[in-house]
Amino acid sequence: MSEFDKEVRRLFPSTRFEEANKGEVVVKADDTEIPALAQRLKEQRFSLMLLFAMEDFNGANGITLWYVFEKEGFEEILVIQAAMKESMESIAAIFPPAYLYEREIMDGFGVAFARAFDQRRLFLHEAYPEGFHPLLRSFRNMHIKAKKAISLSEEYPFKEVKGHGVYQIPVGPVHAGIIPPGHFRFSVIGETIFNLEIRHFWKHRGIEKLAEGMAPEEGLLLAQGICGDEAIANALAYCMAIEKICAIHVPSRAEHIRALFAEMERVYSLLGDIAGMVVDVAYPLGASPFFILREEMLRWNEALSGSRFLKGAMKIGGMAHDVQPAALSELSRYLGSFYSRFTEGINGILSSSMVVDRFETTGVVKKELVLPLHLSGPIARASGIHADVRVQHPYGLYQQIAPSNKVTEEGDVLARFRVKAATIKDSVGIIKRIIASLPSGKMCAEYRLHDGHAFSLVESSRGQNIHFISLGNGKIERYKVRTASFCNWNAIEHAVLGNIVPDFPLINKSMNLSYEGNDL
């Protein structure tokens, strides 16, 4: 029995443990027990990773809620299943991210959470008709009649600071630039931000619903389309979940190439973040080296995988194609010059007093927020918490190669800049090591599908992505994805407080969260 098992058994002396996949500890609980359990888990510093619902799980009638927790220092995750009766008591007051998950479930399944402090709609905006709950099994994909007009009383109530001299700035969802839609409601006095509420979910695609009934191979295409610059991360998580269910052993060479592509994705994504931060303080000259390096990385992506954004590279059981050995050795040589040019670019930025002045003390994410909000990725690492799935829940090749992450305490834009820069350097190192130690062998395992369900975790460029897949009769019954952005968006609402409005875009860019990964 593992340490984690013991830890959990101490917490739940008499509860029923379920048969589960490796790395998952599954507990069945009654709906009435949930708030007390949540309270106990919070005291033991567990963190809520995911909460979602599934209809008719394992032949049971009705809705089963899945609460998924992790604890720092343990590889395994804790899954609590609770059958939902009439209604379930909200745990949003105990685990803050639950206020999003619960609203998501209310929209998707039409169920209620008792005593939830926030009962507003989440991904189904006011224009959707009443009684429309797309994730119910009974709902078939079809054309729906959107409301033509929304009365004043139906309008979404934002939390606003009121008082003398306070005014509201509504921004978006239509912006002056070409960026995805998001609505930001600021309450401001002068230029100082007193409150920010973010409203997202303007382009809901219904990916979870689309996945229902798909063959696993088909669902892979859906997974890699969730978010453009996390194509590898999400495709990898998807494949890992299927491989876990079907006990597929991925060949060693494929594991290496998977990690190689995951790191290349991280490098080009974070290069975009770094360049964007510099552009947002109006220093495009300093940003251009990073744009150039990013473009070069995209070309390497194309040379290795045939796709600039590494699409179509992944396959259940391994990789779709092998890579050219000649291209790999060239890439390895290129990375030498990449490293020095990148370091030069970073030093150039950090030696500009005007840029550092803009970055420093701007948009601080406090360390105390990381665990309660379940922040992950570079944002958490910049605020003093060493959150990285590759270290905490090692998968694939990362069981052998661990990244040496930089962790800073300040939590401001400058800290995120430094952490992201260090992550790029680290990833370049990993890529070089992979190329040097690439074994030969098969690219893909033979496999036979069977039914079951599993979770998988990956570290994308933005942090922790978690996927859940349930297969029944060889088809997907339920596919649930939560990317890092879903939780990390909450960090911005806290980070901007006390900052001035013109610094918001910089704070936003320093996190560079995904709109698509948030709104499936």
Q: Provide, rounded to whole angstroms, the least separation between the CB of residue 276 and other proteins.
A: 11
Separation of alpha carbons 520 and 504, rounded Å: 25
Decide: is 502 part of the binding site for other proteins (CB under 8 A). yes
Separation of alpha carbons 457 and 92, rounded Å: 23
Separation of alpha carbons 422 and 431, rounded Å: 14
Scanning residues 342 to 361, which ones bind other proteins (CB under 8 A)?
352, 354-355, 357-358
Give the range of 12-20, 70-78, 260-268, 284-292 binding other proteins by CB under 8 A.
284-292
User: Of the two residues 356 and 445, which places its CB atom closer to other proteins in the complex?
Assistant: 356
Residue type, 231: A
Decide: is 195 part of the binding site for other proteins (CB under 8 A). no
Separation of alpha carbons 378 and 423, rounded Å: 8
Q: What are phi and psi of 481, to 5 degrees?
A: -125, 135
Convert 189-255 into a string of H (helix), E (strand) and C (coil): ECCEEEEEEEECCCCCCCHHHHHCCCCHHHHHHHHHCCCHHHHHHHHHHHHHHHHHHHCCCCCHHHH
Q: Provide, rounded to whole angstroms, the least separation between the CB of residue 196 and other proteins.
A: 11
Decide: is 330 part of the binding site for other proteins (CB under 8 A). no
For residues 229-262, one letter each, b for 16 or more C-beta atoms within 10 angstroms of the residue's C-beta and e for the rest, the string is bbbbbbbbbbbbbbbbbbebebbebbbbbbbbbb
Task: Report the SS3 class of residue 456.
Answer: strand
Scanning residues 169 to 188, which ones bind other proteins (CB under 8 A)?
169-171, 175-178
Q: Provide, rounded to whole angstroms, the least separation between the CB of residue 182 and other proteins.
A: 13
User: Of the two residues 278 and 364, which places its CB atom closer to other proteins in the complex?
Assistant: 278
Decide: is 208 part of the binding site for other proteins (CB under 8 A). no
Decide: is 284 part of the binding site for other proteins (CB under 8 A). yes
Decide: is 474 part of the binding site for other proteins (CB under 8 A). no
Decide: is 283 part of the binding site for other proteins (CB under 8 A). yes
Q: Among residues 114, 150, 221, 500, which is the contact residue for other proteins, using CB under 8 A?
A: 500
Give the range of 162-170, 241-249, 415-423, 464-472 binding other proteins by CB under 8 A.
162-170
Q: What is the DSSP letter of 501?
A: G
Scanning residues 69 to 108, which ones bind other proteins (CB under 8 A)?
none
β-bridge mates for residue 455, sequence order:
468
Decide: is 285 part of the binding site for other proteins (CB under 8 A). yes
Decide: is 191 part of the binding site for other proteins (CB under 8 A). yes
H or E segment to which residue 431 belongs = helix 413-436
Q: Provide, rounded to whole angstroms, the least separation between the CB of residue 297 and other proteins.
A: 16
Scanning residues 287 to 316, which ones bind other proteins (CB under 8 A)?
287-288, 292
Q: Among residues 146, 189, 282, 402, which is the contact residue for other proteins, using CB under 8 A?
A: 282
Q: How is residue 442 written in tokens? A: 């098969």
Residues 258 and 236: beta-carbon distance below 8 Å: yes
User: Of the two residues 290 and 489, which places its CB atom closer to other proteins in the complex?
Assistant: 290
Decide: is 166 part of the binding site for other proteins (CB under 8 A). no
Binding stretches for other proteins (CB under 8 A): 167-171, 175-178, 191, 278, 280-288, 292, 352, 354-355, 357-358, 500-506
